[in-house]
Structure 1
Amino acid sequence: MNKQDRYIEQFAPFRIAYMRHIGPYGPVNIETMELLKSWAIQRELLTHTAILLGIAQDDPATTAPEHCRYDACIVIPDDYIFDEQKEHIKTGVFSGGTYLVVTVKHTAEDIQHAWSEVTPYLQASGYRLDHKPVLERYRPELLDQHLCQICIPVTIS
């Protein structure tokens, strides 16, 4: 993890639309994200400025696989309205906070490698993990380069 690949960012609250999968993490997460993207394309929400998020709500080390929740999300305008019951999609508000943002190649190996370096980096920098879900953030300019961002919630030690 190079210095230029990581930084601390303060996220403001924002509104999201999301689809949730409950069950073991894995390839179905990709399918859930693809369903969300199809929904967003039909509503002209998946633009060159769109922000997509993948949020694993549960730690598989402490939650049974059949109970793990994965949310595929897109940031939406505060005034965007749709019928949640008809469209099988939910809305929510991401509360924001302080995050360590790590930009990595969008491969399982690179993401896992970044994770192996996070704990020592946090210990050396005076931050510690906060008790919020980790985010995977996808923006078109990063996806074009086969990159994504892992956003890890932190607090000052």
Structure 2
Amino acid sequence: MTSRLEWTTIDSADPRSLAEFWCGVLGYVVYEDKKGEVVEIGPDPEASDEQRLGDLRDGPAVASLAFVRVPEAKGGTKNRIHFEITPIDSDQGAELDRLLALGASKVDVGQGEGRSWVVLADPEGNEFCLARSLAPGEFDL
């Protein structure tokens, strides 16, 4: 018996704005915007609930994200959980430039120099990492 990750919920001061940033990063679209209080995004807006449920039951699925409005800002400490983003059709440098143009910023969480990943933060300060590229010619088995 196993479970599947369906949603990741992220507290946010401005759910719509943060959802738009992550749509740009991941190529997702907004599923539902509940008056700016909760904004849900994911990879396939045309999938029916039945299709999504079938996909979840069949195997690992790409998780959707939900951004929920909260009154308080993110605390100053490093996140205890974060996303690892991997480019699939460009090299890491080109993806870094794209993410910075979308509104990400480089951050130092004590990772040190010479790492194969880059630590970034979204517009509300949530850290995530840009890992190596999986693009053809960039990563081969």
Q: Same fold (TM over 0.5)?
A: no
TM-score scaled to structure 2, two decimals?
A: 0.25
Q: Which has the higher contact order (CA 8 A, sep 6+)?
A: 1
TM-score scaled to structure 1, two decimals?
A: 0.23
